[in-house]
Amino acid sequence: MDEQALEPQAFTDHFSARNLDRRRSGRGSQALILKGAEVLPHADRALLRAVYADGRSAAEIARLNPSVKARAVSYRVRLLTLRVLSPEFAFVSAHRRKWGRTRAKVATACFLHGLSIREAARLARVSFHTARQHHAAVLELMRSQPQPTTLLHTPEPAPLEVIPESRPAMGGAA
């Protein structure tokens, strides 16, 4: 995702419950949420657009489908918003095109679409063990970054450091 001209400190302010309310959040946070929603599955993207772009309330959305309660819609919006604003979401959306097909599928399913590792394994057609290894590798890659990745600031990947291999001396003891 493109870097935006907002201060990195503003990112952490988005996680307070008060700021997740669309009526209290500013245009900047709404733009961040809508930008992150671009990579979500269609239904989740449509829900966030209805709330943050169209200004619909959870009650209005729930009235469209009588089997869904406004409280459930509100809860789903809150979960999606937290996911979209998370550092893991930003990291995966920024770096997934550089990874192999399987790692990208598992990372997209887990971190962007919110699926479990087991569901991601089924989707990527790999074993649970392989999916768990890819999930752990993505978390380790994220931790190895010099700065936290956010939608506000996505650093370039650090160059890999080559550590010379030390070999024991050949021959007998000196």
What fold is seen in the domain 86-156? Arc Repressor Mutant, subunit A (1.10.10)
Q: Is 130's pLDDT higher than 90?
A: yes
Radius of gyration from C-alpha coordinates of the chain: 20
Task: Name, in order, each residue with C-beta under 8 angstroms of 79's C-beta and a sequence gap of 6 or more.
Answer: 114
Residue ranges of the domains in the chain? 11-85, 86-156
pLDDT at residue 55 in the model: 87
Q: What is the pTM of this model?
A: 0.67
Distance CA 53, CA 48 (A): 8
pLDDT, average across residues 106-120: 95
pLDDT, average across residues 57-82: 90
pLDDT, average across residues 78-101: 91
- Helix 128-143 vs helix 117-124: crossing angle, to nearest 10: 110
Distance CA 167, CA 146 (A): 30
pLDDT at residue 138 in the model: 94
Residue 113 neighbours by CB distance under 10 Å: 16
pLDDT, average across residues 102-110: 95
pLDDT at residue 80 in the model: 92
């890819």: which residue's tokens?
134
CA distances from 111 to 86, 92, 127 (A): 9, 7, 18
